[in-house]
Amino acid sequence: MTIRVLLADDQALLRATFRILIDSEDDMTVIAEAADGREAVEATEEQRPDVVVMDIRMPHLDGVAATAAICSRPELADTHILVLTTFENDENVAKALRAGASGFLGKGVSPETLLSGIRTVAVGEALLSQAATRALITRFLATPDTDDLLALPEAVKALTDREREVVTLAAHGWSNAQIAERLVLSPLTVRSHIQRAMTKLDARDRAQLVVIAYQSGLVQPQSPAQGPAGPP
């Protein structure tokens, strides 16, 4: 299956560079480009890409607003957003994750990391395992945002004890394999628990599941009682 990618960035040279890189891969292709957030939303509605590589800073409509617009549309639920940033404003990245982005990468990453990131979010996984990302979540996502609150205490109560345990470890950046080893389960069983939790909490992907875990109070930042700060 070929991953269909939309590039949203106001720098034409950067889009051209990304297009050459992505189109050189056998399992992915660029199907459209957008020079601003408004174009990104319109192109996503028309083309239905699997992944949108979204810059934060764009004219007319920035990447955060464009991400929110795309992720709010039920018909675009199969489209995943990978945010690109220079890390100048962590709060904007946090807002993009709240809005439904599946993760983020810095613009200075290697070509291999970018391609791997696209593949990761295309299958509904999240780029949330790095220490820097956990620090970002701890700093911003754990603080309720009255403008865009994802806290769902009643829905969280519907999770089973095992689902809560799995979600807690995922929120601390553990992979399915690491969770499976920790809880003496198979990775497939862990994935099933994650999928059921996503369904119950109406999370479009693993990234939003993590956001909900923090904002609902299910997971407390740097709380040993709730779970380890990171995988062993």
pLDDT 10s digits, 48-57: 999 999 999 8
- Indicate if the pLDDT at residue 89 is higher than 50: yes
pLDDT confidence of residue 227:
44
Q: Determine if residue 212 is left, alpha or beta; phi over 0 gives left, psi from -120 to 50 gives alpha, anything else beta.
A: alpha
- Indicate if the pLDDT at residue 187 is higher than 60: yes
Asked if domains 3-127 and 146-215 share a fold, the reply is no
Which pairs count as long-range contacts for 87-93, CB under 8 Å and 24+ apart, including other chains?
A: 89/56, 90/136, 90/139, 90/140, 91/140, 92/56, 92/62, 92/63, 92/64, 93/56, 93/136
Q: Which CATH number fits domain 3-127: 3.40.50.2300, 3.40.50.970, 3.90.180.10, 3.50.50.60?
A: 3.40.50.2300
Q: Using an 8 Å Cβ cutoff, are 12 and 36 in contact?
A: no
- Indicate if the pLDDT at residue 128 is higher than 80: no
pLDDT digits (tens, 9 = 90+) for 21-37: 999 999 999 999 999 99
Alpha helices for 61-203 (secondary structure H): 63-71, 90-99, 111-122, 131-136, 153-156, 161-171, 176-183, 187-201
If one looks up domain 146-215 in CATH, what number appears? 1.10.10.10
Residue boundaries of the structural domains of the chain: 3-127, 146-215
**Mean pLDDT, residues 181-203 taken together:** 92
Q: Using an 8 Å Cβ cutoff, are 55 and 9 in contact?
A: yes
pLDDT confidence of residue 29:
98
pLDDT confidence of residue 166:
94
